[in-house]
Amino acid sequence: GGIFESIESGPSGPEELAFKFALNTINRNRTLLPNTTLTYDIQRINVFDSFEASRKACEQLSLGVAAIFGPSHSSSANAVQSISNALGVPHIQTRWKHQVSDNRDSYYISLYPDFCSLSRAILDLVHFFRWRTVTVVYDDSTGLIRLQELIKAPSRYNIRLKIRQLAADTKDAKPLLKEMKKAKEFHVIFDCSHEMAAWILKQALSMGMVTEYYASCFKALYPSLHFLLAFVLFFSLRQTEVCVCVCVCVSVSLQCNRHKPWRFGGRFISFIKEASWDGLTGRILFNKTNGLRTDFDLDVISLKENGLEKIGTWDPPRGLNMSENHKSKITNITDSLSNKSLRVSTILEEPYVMFKKSDKPLYGNDRFEGFCVDLLRELSGILGFRYEMRLVEDGKYGAFEESTGQWNGMVRELMDHKADLAVAPLTITYVREKVIDFSYFLAILNILYRKPNGTNPGVFSFLNPLSPDIWMYILLACLGVSCVLFVIARFSPYEWYNPHPCNPDSDVVENNFTLLNSFWFGVGALMRQGSELMPKALSTRIVGGIWWFFTLIIISSYTANLAAFLTVERMESPIDSADDLAKQTKILYGVVEDGATMTFFKKTKISTYDKMWEFMNSRRQSVIVKSVEEGIHRVLTSDYAFLMESTAIEFVTQRNCNLTQIGGLIDSKAYGVGTPMGSPYRDKITIAILQLQEEGKLHMMKEKWWRGNGCPEEESKEASALGVQNIGGIFIVLAAGLVLSVFVAVGEVLYKSKQNAQIEKKYRPITVVQ
């Protein structure tokens, strides 16, 4: 007997048609059950009407049916199952049934696969495709039970699982699909009926969610397929004992109100549970205790451009078995991108992407040239894809705008799938990595500033080898030594001598070390010229010797440093590092708006860089620039330092000798080719870039676009001739000394003339006139 729910589409549903087809096929093949004809009784009930299902089952049992098929709904099926257990009649089901621990349904047979095995099959697919984030969508509470093996997976595997439920009593899945699309959930497993699966696919197609970026797994088994297994079931029951049981049961009428079970029912259900055969869905084998199906085959079907294609199978003993063709597509980097047309988002920045200079009008990809253009051309040659380059609409790399809660720039285009790739100097950051995927390059953050002008030594640069303090100390030391020498020479009796050696009894003695002579002795020793004054006493000679040693060291040190100070042009820069920038406010500094460098300073926890961001944020309108070109222009035309990646600085300084890199490493950055989150292209792009790196092509492209004409090398200063600007001060000192000596000489003449006049006046002879 068969009990089926009524449907609106017609008198017979697919389950009922499959049931009739199976029995009619057996009756037409007289070799299966010779001299026996199988008859059937079909009853239709309303959905959810368990009382009607019980009444129809009792009517069929009174007719002497050997087994009951259906119904498919759980409440009605449970009512029929209860009657079958009581009267010992096999109950064959095609619906999912939760396994109970007491196994009281001893007359239960299910052609539906065991839910634990189905969960393992889905988990194997997740591992095969290397999904790291999975969303599970179910339509009723039993879905969580059916998927419990998958739900337990995050605790054992590195999988992030998100669970959603479809709205009850509705076929509109668009609100849920919109939420998943907004949340960037690309790997989805649906546990729903086949009718709902069809609705979801149609709605997902209308929302642009049936693309290579989305991977959906539908765990929906079509019911009519299971009922076709009934044909296979009776086709295989060819044992004589079973035939006897079936024949006997025709004449046995069971009554629900008598509670007298069928005496052949236990034997009949045992034969069914012990049987195994190959059916339309693979090997059929039942658990002898609970009647659940333990062996089956699942086909893995993928939606391709030409329609549905079988790409693999799964069965409990062997697990997942993907076709060799599909395995090669997973491992071969060229297949998944071959002949595909990709949309590439980019941004203008030298030397990565630039407009090509040409007298003729250019169109399409021919408009551009640069490092990224060459890189994209090489990737296309390796992976076999076609591409169309487009400039990002808002001219920005991509940053999260807290005011709107939205991303902008190339990142936004990747998130909205307006672009398949972003090939530009796009920096990999933590916040970007959460919404898009990247390949990998390396960059370093540095400071771009004007090269300081060379400063020639001044005319008094001969004083530079010694600091002003040292010059003052030397002068004081010379005065101090002169005074000490004068005092000791006066004190020591050995420094006094008789100016008239011919008259040894003369009481007149003299001392050469007057105060002026002592100072002249010190100056002569300091100038390495000496003097005619010679100390005679041991004490004065000690003073003179110590002073000579002191002047030897001073003059030697001065001479050693004099050459460097007179011949080398000093390159003095007001800043040497990020710390110097942070400690001053005269030199403005900034970054590109909404770039990765700006994000770095905004999110940093390092005190120096945080202080720099506070400065930039407080003067946002005057220091934040819209593009790299604007930043470079400001560096050249004003007192401004520009924070940017070292690779870009290297390119700029190769072409403009007035610019230079200041300081060392500020932060390490990584460039990457951006792809949408979950894109199947990311790994292929990364492998191709590594291939280019190993072949040396990346280095060749960098040399091509970074190497400029080069700045002229600075002339060697090792043997440079000294000019007036180097030692002109010496001539000034000489001239000043000569002029001073003339004035002193004139003064001496005037002074001496005055003295002579006074003497002559005092001793003028007086003439006496008598």
Binding site as annotated, residues for L-glutamate:
425, 427, 432, 597, 645
Q: Report strand pairing: 659-671 vs 406-407.
A: unpaired
**Nearest of 62, 23, 16, 66 to residue 42 by alpha carbon:** 16
Amino acid at 329: K
Q: DSSP letters along 33-48, please?
A: STT------EEEE-TT
CA distance 477 to 482: 8
C-beta of residue 659 within 8 angstroms of C-beta of residue 593: no
Residue type, 67: A
Q: What are the residues facing 278 on neighbouring strands?
A: 283
Separation of alpha carbons 709 and 655, rounded Å? 7
- Buried-state track 712-726, b at ≥16 Cβ within 10 A, e below 16: eeeeeeeeeeeeeeb
* Cα 338 to chain centroid, rounded: 27
C-alpha to C-alpha distance for 484 and 251, rounded to whole angstroms: 148
Crossing angle of the two packed helices 265-274 and 240-250, in degrees rounded to 10: 140
Residue type, position 493, single letter = P
Region of 444 on the Ramachandran plot (φ > 0 left; ψ -120 to 50 alpha; else beta):
beta
Strand, helix or coil for residue 668: strand
Cα angle: 229, vertex 232, 236; to 5 degrees: 145
Alpha carbon distance 226, 16 (integer Å) = 11
DSSP 340-368: -EEEEEE--BTTTBEEPP-SS---GGGGE
Residues making up the binding site: 425, 427, 432, 597, 645
* Token pair 């790997």: residue: 187
| Largest distance between two CA atoms of the chain | 203
CA triplet 463, 465, 466: central angle to 5 degrees?
75
Start-to-end CA distance of the chain, whole Å, equals 190
* CA 218/CA 122 separation, integer angstroms: 10
Q: Judge if the upstream peptide bond of residue 351 is cis by omega within 30 degrees of 0.
A: yes
Q: Is residue 288 a contact partner of residue 273, using CB atoms and an 8 Å limit? A: yes
Residue 334 has which token pair? 């060229």
DSSP string, 454-505: EE---TTGGGTTS-HHHHHHHHHHHHHHHHHHHHHHHH-GGGEE-S-TT-TT
Rounded to whole angstroms, how far apart are CA atoms 315 and 300? 11
Among all chains, which residue has been given the structure tokens 């499959």? 18
Instruction: Tell me phi and psi for residue 21, to 5 degrees.
Output: -60, -40
Pull the structure tokens for residue 664. Answer: 């060392």
Residue 589 forms beta bridges with which residues?
Answer: 641
